Amino acid sequence: MMKCLFFLCFCLFPILVFSSTFTSQNPINLPSESPVPKPVLDTNGKKLNPNSSYRIISTFWGALGGDVYLGKSPNSDAPCPDGVFRYNSDVGPNGTPVRFIPLSTNIFEDQLLNIQFNIPTVKLCVSYTIWKVGNLNAHLRTMLLETGGTIGQADSSYFKIVKSSKLGYNLLYCPISRHFLCPFCRDDNFCAEVGVVIQNGKRRLALGQQNPLDVLFQEV
């Protein structure tokens, strides 16, 4: 009996040693879980709703504040207002309401979506409510945000909302294809931050600025 037990232990010992060695030197890498997408929240802490309207407001007050609004671009021959601007102060008119149209059913951080000014308009001007990025402006040395985009198409009308490193959120322009000209887009994610430039005395939303625009979303 003792001989049998000794023989059994002698046979199992190499297996245990090999198993321990294999486990320590060859750890099994289990697949990591995908991060759970975070919903974008409005000023009341509620999730943004694709069916609701919001004003894009600043995280600052006074001269540093100002809502985003739809206005006429200088020297534009468009039949409808086609510029995305920001008021020079939070004292004065409210911004133009927008709605966010995600590719999925919900509005999450760092996911593609379209942005549309949600206002009554004539049929001719419907496309002039949808945000896009225009061509390079040689004078201002940037690409201006304008309207005339499309919804759900592979063009220059895609944006993302990401958490700001300071307060609130930032807007990113993210072409759905690298075939689109975007000299301000980063190589790692092919997105560009949305900031502000001064055009004819007005604040105009544009790409590639050193200080991205920090915003909040106020439900209308």
Dihedral sign from CA coordinates of 205, 82, 109, 191? negative
Domain 54-219 in CATH 2.80.10.50? The answer is yes
β-bridge mates for residue 215, sequence order: 58, 169
**pTM confidence score:** 0.83
What does the pLDDT read at residue 208?
83
Q: Which band of pLDDT confidence, cut at 50, 70 and 90, is reported for residue 111?
A: very high
Rounded Cα distance between 62 and 197, Å, is: 18
Q: 64: which DSSP letter?
A: G
Residue ranges per domain, the chain?
54-219
Q: How many residues does the chain have?
A: 220
What does the pLDDT read at residue 18?
40
149 neighbors 131 (Cβ within 8 angstroms):
yes
Question: For residue 115, what are its two tokens?
Answer: 């942005």
Rounded Cα distance between 198 and 205, Å, is: 9
What does the pLDDT read at residue 31?
55
Task: Classify residue 137 as left (phi > 0), alpha (psi -120 to 50) or beta.
Answer: beta
Per-residue pLDDT reduced to its tens digit, 58-106: 999 998 899 999 999 998 999 999 999 999 998 889 999 999 999 988 9
